[in-house]
């Protein structure tokens, strides 16, 4: 049996303090008081309150920051020949050991979706790689489904271990922690926690109850093909997108969206030099595909929605053999006009009319 440990609720701060040792950055969910309550992953320090509620924003920043410096550059003039410039570059990836604590199974699966293009393509992204190698994921299994989650439609589930190093499950007296990877086993073995093997059966019961709470899932086996067949049906995409505001919230809250833009700042000849930044971008913005000539191949929001949905349910599966949507439901719960990606996919698979949920 894998390494199993137990922690009572009042032992969680001590567990976090242990995880934060040796210079590790611990990202834990924290409540943000606002008009609309939200929960975000933030660096934890002793004494800082945290919650185990599902985060409004996934911990994608652990591997893909909203904005990161890819390289710094500086140009210096040759004193003897001022027309000649020498360029120096520093493109060292910035990464530190990081533990994401209390992710949800959909979030942990999100890292595996990002891993494929960033690590398994013809070019591994060195910045992503440096962060990913230093990442440890503690995932809290979900006690039940909710009305916007559909992880079990797309190959996951409320107790899926994919992408996690440690799986935590709540039982009546606390949390059972199960190592999923050797990295997880090593950290659990060193942690000041009680053995939890005798309690594992209770964790399994809680996991079964979570699955039993889910509504039946539709069969999405033909989704990739059906969505691909809809590609040229512009009327269909128009109908699905009428109410969209092109705000991009659906992509910024998504744990698996990975579009970015690159900008250079500074011109290199100043004392400060210049830097190249990579920042999140969104395919739901009209500017995302506008070319230098002014031509835009995705000029309407219907074409942009087609791209977003087709990438997640058709193109990515064609390339990587899995959906790039993990069913977390954040694009649904955070959309100001309640557009539901499930309805679009089901409509694409049916007769083109929106399927009301």
Give the span between the Cα atoms of 123 and 11, in whole angstroms: 43
Q: What is the DSSP letter of 293?
A: T
- For ligand SF4, the binding residue among 336, 350, 353, 357 (CB under 6 A) is 336
> Which of 21, 246 has the CB closer to ligand SF4?
246
In the complex, the smallest distance separating the C-beta of residue 310 from ligand SF4, rounded to whole angstroms, is: 12
Hey, what are 176's tokens? Answer: 């059972």
Q: At what angle do helices 234-241 and 341-349 cross, to 10 degrees?
A: 150
Hey, what are 180's tokens? Answer: 């999923």
Distances (CA, A) of 161 to 108, 120, 180: 8, 20, 7
- Residue indicated by tokens 């929605």: 305
Q: Name 229's Cβ contacts closer than 8 Å, sequence gap at least 6.
A: none
Hey, what are 51's tokens? Answer: 């919650």
> Which of 230, 330 has the CB closer to ligand SF4?
330
Distances (CA, A) of 69 to 60, 66, 161: 17, 10, 32
> Which of 45, 243 has the CB closer to ligand SF4?
243
Give the span between the Cα atoms of 253 and 256, in whole angstroms: 9
In the complex, the smallest distance separating the C-beta of residue 201 from ligand SF4, rounded to whole angstroms, is: 32
In the complex, the smallest distance separating the C-beta of residue 127 from ligand SF4, rounded to whole angstroms, is: 22
When asked if residue 339 is in the footprint of ligand SF4 (CB under 6 A), the reply is: yes
Considering only the stretches 4-12, 38-46, 133-141, 323-331, report the one whose residues sit in contact with ligand SF4 under the rule CB under 6 A. Answer: 323-331
When asked if residue 146 is in the footprint of ligand SF4 (CB under 6 A), the reply is: no
> Which of 54, 207 has the CB closer to ligand SF4?
54
- Residue indicated by tokens 């390339």: 319
Q: Which of 148, 166, 167, 65 is nearest to 114 (CA)?
A: 65
Q: How many CB atoms lie within 10 A of CB 96?
A: 10
Q: Tell which phi-psi region holds residue 61, choosing left (phi > 0), alpha (psi between -120 and 50) or beta.
A: alpha
Interface of this chain with ligand SF4, residues 242 to 281, rule: CB under 6 A: 244-250, 253-256
Number of residues that bind ligand SF4 (CB under 6 A): 25
In the complex, the smallest distance separating the C-beta of residue 82 from ligand SF4, rounded to whole angstroms, is: 50
Distances (CA, A) of 199 to 128, 139, 245: 37, 18, 49
When asked if residue 174 is in the footprint of ligand SF4 (CB under 6 A), the reply is: no
- For ligand SF4, the binding residue among 220, 331, 345, 349 (CB under 6 A) is 331
In the complex, the smallest distance separating the C-beta of residue 311 from ligand SF4, rounded to whole angstroms, is: 10
In terms of DSSP bridges, do strands 98-103 and 166-171 run parallel, antiparallel, or are they unpaired? unpaired
When asked if residue 329 is in the footprint of ligand SF4 (CB under 6 A), the reply is: yes
Interface of this chain with ligand SF4, residues 193 to 212, rule: CB under 6 A: none
> Which of 95, 106 has the CB closer to ligand SF4?
106
In the complex, the smallest distance separating the C-beta of residue 323 from ligand SF4, rounded to whole angstroms, is: 8
Site string for ligand SF4, 290-319 (x = CB under 6 A): ----------------------x-------
Residues in contact with ligand SF4 by CB under 6 A are 244-250, 253-256, 284, 312, 325-331, 335-337, 339, 341
């Amino acid at each position: 049996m894998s390494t199993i440990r137990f922690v009572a609720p009042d032992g969680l701060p001590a567990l976090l303090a242990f995880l934060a040792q040796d210079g590790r950055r611990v990202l834990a969910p924290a409540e943000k008081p606002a008009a609309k309550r939200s929960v975000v992953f933030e660096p934890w320090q002793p004494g800082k309150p945290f919650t185990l509620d599902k985060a409004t924003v996934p911990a994608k920043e652990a591997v893909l920051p909203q904005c990161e410096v890819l390289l710094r550059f500086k140009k210096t003039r040759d004193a003897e020949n001022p027309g000649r410039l020498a360029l120096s570059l520093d493109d060292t990836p910035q990464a530190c050991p990081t533990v994401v604590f209390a992710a949800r199974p959909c979030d942990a699966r999100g890292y595996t979706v990002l891993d494929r293009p960033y690590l398994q393509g013809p070019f591994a992204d060195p910045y992503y790689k440096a962060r990913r190698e230093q990442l440890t994921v503690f995932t809290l299994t979900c006690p039940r489904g909710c009305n916007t989650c559909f992880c079990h439609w797309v190959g996951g589930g409320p107790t899926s271990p994919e992408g996690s190093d440690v799986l935590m499950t709540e039982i009546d007296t606390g949390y059972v922690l199960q190592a999923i990877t050797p990295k997880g086993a090593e950290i659990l073995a060193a942690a000041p926690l009680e053995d939890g093997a005798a309690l594992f059966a209770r964790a399994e019961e809680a996991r079964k109850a979570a699955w039993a709470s889910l509504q039946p899932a539709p069969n999405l086996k033909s989704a990739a093909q059906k969505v691909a067949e809809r590609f040229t049906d512009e009327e269909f995409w128009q109908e699905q997108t009428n109410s969209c505001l092109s705000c991009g919230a659906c992509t910024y809250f998504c744990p698996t969206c990975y579009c970015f833009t690159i900008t250079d700042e500074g011109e290199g000849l100043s004392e400060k030099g210049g830097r190249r930044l990579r920042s999140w971008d969104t395919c739901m913005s009209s500017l995302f595909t506008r070319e230098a000539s002014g031509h835009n191949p995705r000029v309407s929001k219907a074409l942009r929605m087609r791209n977003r949905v087709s990438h997640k349910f058709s193109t990515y599966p064609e390339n990587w053999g899995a959906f790039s949507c993990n069913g977390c439901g954040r694009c649904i719960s955070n959309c100001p006009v309640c557009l539901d990606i499930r309805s679009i996919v089901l409509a694409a698979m049916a007769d083109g009319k929106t399927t009301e949920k």
